[in-house]
Chain A
């Protein structure tokens, strides 16, 4: 297990974490309030340029694999569970106890597909953010948002110790293997039992580490002063403020969409017709603009912020 994040020198990686965080919250919010399948698909396609510019295509695909599996479930569950549609495709001939006769409708199928677009768009955005924000920078941004210090600090220690603890697991596994201990013998219960020998030594080891890190904290007078110094500070330049403003405007636009009920779509009892007129086009264009904006303007980081 390694950090999902890898340090690559692309403009997407260099974007301010706050901008990317607000952007992903915006996409999640958009995916919740919008149910129109075309708009959802457009949001998904608008996230793709980030993947290409950020050079994270391979990792991004591995995230999407999981989505395909979940999407399949969404379509199947909706097809069987929803009985509201009017265009019947198939009626299951035998009666099911409690539920009765089930019918599969065209509307339920389209709803399932629309919802899987919703899932794909959300997960694509989250994958981009997970893959391009350095975990340390993320935690510092949380602090800048005035999130409780102790909580963020706890998460930071836990994140930093993970590779260390993973090394411990590897060492212990190897030492047991050299004594011909087989972790894969037996069935379900036996396998759990065989692997659980690792847990208690690992627990004692990590608790000893906890004492060491606490002593290190105390020797630096942790908690004695509310004014804290930070080892590495993220600089916020004028361009960063511009990007943060763009993402915030995205949120404002979404709030307006929610207020005027734009982007919602009725699947049941029969599909709403979609009129691609000027107002629909303009909403779609503005939406695409805001989703794409950080990627489109990202070269500005290269032009204005020289390291």
Chain B
């Protein structure tokens, strides 16, 4: 845990150094928003990757995260004909809900990376990784707050819109000027149709399949996760 804090502190220090350096040497900082946004996204994704690296995970759980990412990327295919609808988001929500923040983030981030190997990488990849990762990570809070059913559907709808706004960010920061609230609003209005379809799709998936998917994932979670308790082992050996 201590090491994680050191890494986070180091990364933040690097970021601060970058900003101070730029403030001193670059005359107009507002022109280079894009770079900072990109650097911060990369840092966030990287920190979560490190967390995944350090966690105690069996090979079964690693392979589960991998296959779920592949599965959620593949699930885009049957729905490609319906614009805006992406089952990935609902699958990532269910994964985060059952397996916790790190697995949720990983499935989200890997889904973006893997599906773009097929569909084409671009500057949007890192934003997709961040957005879907955040969907998975935040979904892990829901079981703690005992939210399910309708709450889960509302969560899906909210993320349908939030995802679209995060994806608007890269486009807005690099290609639109000035960076004011009104231009961002303009962008949001432009994409609202797609975001609504995305949100609606999430709601439909969560209503139709949400509970069942969570049940299946829970079952596999119990199958996969084995804990060896030293206490139980010793009590057994004394019995023998």
Contact = CB atoms under 8 A, between A and B. Distances in A.
A259 B203 CA distance: 48
A261 B182 CA distance: 28
A289 interface: no
A148 B50 contact: yes
Contact of B117 (A4, A35, A150, A258): A4
Interface stretch (A76-84, A270-278, A296-304): A76-84
A45 B139 CA distance: 45
Interface of A: 1-5, 28-29, 31-33, 35, 63, 70, 73-74, 77-78, 80-82, 84, 99, 111, 115-116, 118-119, 122-123, 126-127, 129-130, 135, 147-151, 153-159, 161-162, 165-166, 168-169, 173, 183-184, 188-189, 191-193, 195-196, 198-200, 202-204, 206-207, 209-211, 213-214, 217-218, 222-223, 258-259, 261, 264, 267-268
B74 A199 contact: no
A169 B77 contact: yes
Given A82-B177, A82-B183, A267-B177, 19 more contacts: A1-B119, A28-B38, A31-B174, A32-B34, A111-B177, A126-B122, A130-B117, A148-B50, A151-B106, A153-B62, A154-B62, A158-B69, A191-B82, A192-B204, A202-B74, A206-B67, A210-B64, A214-B62, A218-B60
17 contacts: A28-B123, A31-B174, A35-B31, A74-B171, A74-B175, A78-B176, A126-B123, A129-B121, A151-B53, A165-B71, A169-B74, A192-B204, A196-B204, A203-B213, A207-B216, A210-B64, A210-B220
A203 B71 contact: yes
A43 to B, nearest CB: 14
Contact of A161 (B27, B28, B67, B116): B67
Contacts of B74: 162, 165-166, 168-169, 202
Given A149-B53, A261-B26, A211 B59 contact: no
Interface magnitude class on chain B: 35 or more
Interface in B155-182: 171, 174-178, 182
Interface string B102-116: 000010001001101
Interface of B: 25-28, 31-32, 34-35, 38, 49-50, 52-53, 57-60, 62-71, 73-75, 77-79, 81-82, 85, 87, 91, 106, 110, 113-114, 116-123, 171, 174-178, 182-183, 186-187, 190, 200-201, 204-205, 208-209, 212-213, 216, 220, 223-224
Contacts of B31: 35, 264
Contacts of B66: 153-158, 161, 210, 213
Contacts, number: 223
Contacts of B176: 74, 77-78, 81, 115
A259 B24 CA distance: 10
Contacts of A126: 120-123
B175 to A, nearest CB: 4
Contacts of A184: 81
Contacts of A77: 176, 183, 186-187, 190
A186 B32 CA distance: 48
A218 B59 contact: yes
A150 B57 CA distance: 10
Task: Report which residue of A161, A264, A268 has the largest number of chain B beta carbons within 10 angstroms of its beta carbon.
Answer: A161
A178 to B, nearest CB: 17
B82 A206 contact: no
The 3 closest A-B pairs by CB, nearest first: A157-B66, A210-B67, A158-B70
Contacts of A267: 177
Nearest to A127: B120
A203 B154 CA distance: 23
Contacts of B171: 70, 74
Contacts of A165: 70-71, 74
A155 to B, nearest CB: 5
Nearest to A198: B78
Contacts of B85: 192
B27 A33 contact: no
B73 A115 contact: no
Contact of A158 (B73, B78, B81): B73
A1 B79 CA distance: 12
Which of A29, A116, A151, A168 gathers the greatest number of chain B CB atoms within 10 Å?
Answer: A151
